[in-house]
Structure 1
Amino acid sequence: MQELCVGIFLGEAATKMAKYRLVLLRHGEGAWTKENRFCSWVDQKLSSDGIKEAQNCGKHLKALGFEFDLVFTSVLSRSIQTAWLILEEMGQEWVPIQSSWRLNERHYGALIGLNRAEMALNHGEEQVKIWRRSYDVTPPPISESHPYYAEIYNDRRYKCSDVPQENLPKAESLKDVLDRLLPYWNEKIVPELKSGKMILISAHGNSSRALLKHVEGLILWLTPGISDEDIINVTLPTGVPILLELDENLHPLGPHQFLGDQEAIQAAIKRVEDQGKVKSAEKLNPSV
């Protein structure tokens, strides 16, 4: 009976027109993404490939006819730089941008700066996948002796945040990311959406995954959304726009849609998933 109800709901949703549309994306490839390191709150610019990804994203959104009224980013340069490049390609440089630490990448604590493939070799691929993707597992916290502690916590951008510096996280699970993101979503982004503005959110892999989990969880009880268990398998490639079509209550009319060449997007997703795996040469010879 429930399966029948789900089918009826999905059929009705397919016939409804979206009241609101939101575009969300993970920034273009960063310098440390290329090196396969946990970047997190360390500020990095885009790599040369990341710049091209952002520019291509802007060209694609322009070709699809998107016109943005407002852009939200994190306070990290790779998020902001991606938004700049997209707007430049679209000829919409004048569109206002608002930035908040609440859209930052997940804080990976003591893992920051470490190579994912080397971590997989030392701790196992499954453990690295849990640290990277699970919903409620928090990695070991960063300590003052960590090589990037001072760089992060002495950064002037966090003196302007809406919480005292001593209350900023030292490590986060995806659930923690959602908890710190939701007030900003509800108080800042939702009112702008409901006012009729077309919004772009240029964020990060985990802040985007957390937001998708929340929004798609608002689909009526007839459909499951993204469960705590399933979120571990949700992969977002860099520089690929994601469209969410929402009704008058900001409930999604269906699952999120990756915009672009689907074959290329699936290849990009696989590359992201492979970041946490031991390289074949290392498997054969761990000393490599």
Structure 2
Amino acid sequence: MSKLILLRHGQSEWNLENRFTGWTDVGLSDAGMAEAENAGRILSREGLRPTAAFTSVLRRAVETWNIVSRVSGRMWVPLEKSWRLNERHYGALQGLDKAETVAKHGEEQVRIWRRSYAARPPLLRSDDPRNPRFEEKYAGIDCRALPLGESLQDAVARVLPFWFDRIAPALAGGADAIVSAHGNSLRGLVKFLDGMGDDEIAGFEIPTGVPILYEFDSSLEPAGRGRRASDCGGGAGFRGILLS
């Protein structure tokens, strides 16, 4: 039975400052580093020994895996990074203080930008220096594939090809895998694995630094019913297990 661990990165510097982060490449806060260390201890306690690791190309996700692997003794595990696992791109909202954005645009509009499934934030202009096409880490990617802002629906559509191309084959080949990524990219995987509806996944919360375990049968279907789904804000169809 293959196992998959989903791990949202520890608290980032901009989580702490309550800013829209998206693809902005910030590091972990001190609290986030402590969360990652605790996640590593949880993996050791539960006897989880991933043999394949995947992260986004963003520093906070990579740092989280680096800490987890050190604490759990898995630093030798091969790591594959992909932009497809990046956080949802928040467009022109990136870098803005969330409270100030509410004061300017109203609570309801910000709620729609953040929590609806299909609504996109205000998009970046193509010449905006925050456009990912100007970053070296995305130089090998067709600029037409790089977003200027995404809905959750867009982010899910970006993530799923990586599941089919890289993660699922690793699991089918007998590996136990860990994905260190972001709230919204992990929502995309949870939505697919558990068959959640659009509204359900939009309200599904994934805490920072808390491993979520999926166990799969031979056909790569999640086995069993999840525990402590209420910690994620609902999720009647959730079949993962929150490990805390």
TM-score (norm 2): 0.90
| Match 1:70 to one of 36, 49, 52 | 52
Equivalent position of 1:265 in the other structure: none
The 10-residue stretch of structure 1 (84-93 or 247-256) with the greater mean CA deviation from structure 2: 247-256
Contact 2:117 2:202 in 1 (8 A): yes
**How much has 1:179 moved relative to structure 2?**
1.1
By how many angstroms is 1:144 displaced? 4.3
Which residue is 2:158 aligned to? 180
* Structure 1 stretches of at least 4 aligned residues deviating more than 3 Å after TM superposition: none
> Contact (CA 8 Å) 2:10, 2:36: kept in 1 or not?
yes
Residue 149 (structure 2) aligns with: 171
Give secondary structure in 2 for the equivalent of 1:229. Answer: helix
Question: Are 2:126 and 2:148, in contact at CA under 8 Å, matched by a contact in 1?
Answer: no
Match of 1:149 among 105, 124, 130: 130
CA distance in 2, matches of 1:206, 1:50: 18
What residue is the counterpart of 1:250 in the other structure? 220
Residues 216 and 251, structure 1, Cα contact 8 Å, conserved in 2: no
List runs of 5+ in structure 2 lacking aligned partners.
Answer: 226-238
Supply the distance in 2 between the matched residues of 1:87 and 1:154 (Cα, whole angstroms): 31
* Separation (CA, whole Å) in 2 of partners of 1:133 and 1:210: 14
1:9-24 → structure 2 map (5 Å cutoff): 19-24=1-6
**Any idea what SS the aligned residue of 2:198 has?**
coil
Query: What is the CA RMSD across the aligned residues, in angstroms?
Result: 1.4
Residue number in structure 1 paired with 2:232: none
CA deviations over 1:12-58 (Å, ceiling 9, x no partner): xxxxxxx3221001101111110000111111111111111101110
CA contact (8 A) 1:133 1:231 kept: no
**Where do residues 97-246 of structure 1 align in structure 2 (5 Å cutoff)?**
97-144=79-126, 146=128, 148-149=129-130, 152-160=132-140, 163-217=141-195, 226-246=196-216
Q: Which is higher, the Rg of structure 1 or of structure 2?
A: 1
1:89 is aligned to 2:71: yes
Task: Report the Cα distance in structure 1 between the residues aligned to 2:145 and 2:197, rounded to whole angstroms.
Answer: 29
Which 5+ residue runs of structure 1 have no aligned equivalent? 1-18, 218-225, 261-288
- In the aligned structure 1, how far is the partner of 2:111 from the partner of 2:71? 35
Aligned to 1:259: 243
